[in-house]
Amino acid sequence: MGVPVIEFRGVSKIYGAGEGAVAALRAVDLAIAPGEFVALMGPSGSGKSTAMNIMGALDVPSAGSYCFAGTPLDSLARDERALLRRQYLGFVFQGFNLLARTSALENVELPLLYRRVAPRARRTLALAALNTVGLADWAAHTPAELSGGQQQRVAIARAIVCSPQVLLADEPTGNLDSQRSHSIMALLASLNHTQGLTIVMVTHELEMTAYASRLITFRDGQISPAPEGVTP
């Protein structure tokens, strides 16, 4: 597989202490190769969201190590982890997290503002990202003027505008009906296939995992065998 873009080596995550301690992850080993589309699934409290938070450098293991593209993150300071998130990771959430009073274009430009990209270049890159998700004609519309599926497409455009190495999607279809859910999943699969974008997605919907190339199931803080009939 070469160097994994995401690798857990015996990762554990403990919240609390003493008798109140809760083990969210228990010595988890996993590796995700560049270009994979991986779905994480499991019941509430299984550890999948904790794993996603560690992958996104939003949290750190209590034990074990997490390497991103071969680089251990254990010793990174908080601002260094924030820099890694900005440079290499894109995030999509169940709630679209768009700024309500700004246009789709301005929402997509936001990560470029943090990078101090010049206005003309910002606009060009944001329009290109909106075109990739099929919303170039909706650039001037605010979120209130867009459907739920369109809002999620804007959120995906915002996540990919800086060309991340990995896209982390946390329940990206959780607020959408079936038709729009499949549309969003088809878009993610297209980004994976045509751009080689590595995607890691948390979902509770088994139907949506069909778009992924691999399924990792969590139970009680550990990786468990995939559901019957599903290829791990």
- Which whole number is the average pLDDT over 134-157? 96
CA angle, 199 then 200 then 206, to 5°: 115
- For residue 221, give the nearest of 26, 55, 64 by alpha carbon: 26
Q: How much is the pLDDT for 209?
A: 94
Chain centroid offset of residue 196 CA: 15
Q: How much is the pLDDT for 75?
A: 80
pTM above 0.85, yes or no: yes
Residue 29: is its pLDDT beyond 80? yes
DSSP 180-230: HHHHHHHHHHHHHHHH--EEEEE-S-GGGGGGSSEEEEEETTEEEPPPTT-
How many whole angstroms separate alpha carbon 195 and alpha carbon 37?
A: 12
- Which whole number is the average pLDDT over 118-146? 96
For 102-122, what is each residue's pLDDT tens digit?
Answer: 999 999 999 999 889 999 999
Largest CA distance in the chain: 57
How many whole angstroms separate alpha carbon 200 and alpha carbon 212?
A: 9
- For residue 61, give the nearest of 46, 49, 50, 77 by alpha carbon: 50
> Within 13 A of 65's CA, how many CA atoms are on the CB side?
10
Q: Which domains does the chain have, with CATH numbers?
A: 6-224 (3.40.50.300)
Residue 191: is its pLDDT beyond 90? yes
**Is 37 within 8 Å of 192 (Cβ atoms)?**
yes
Point out which residues pair with 90 in neighbouring strands: 167
226 band by pLDDT with thresholds 50, 70 and 90:
low
What is the edge-to-edge ordering of all strands in the sheet holding 214-219? Answer: 89-93, 166-170, 198-202, 37-41, 214-219, 222-224
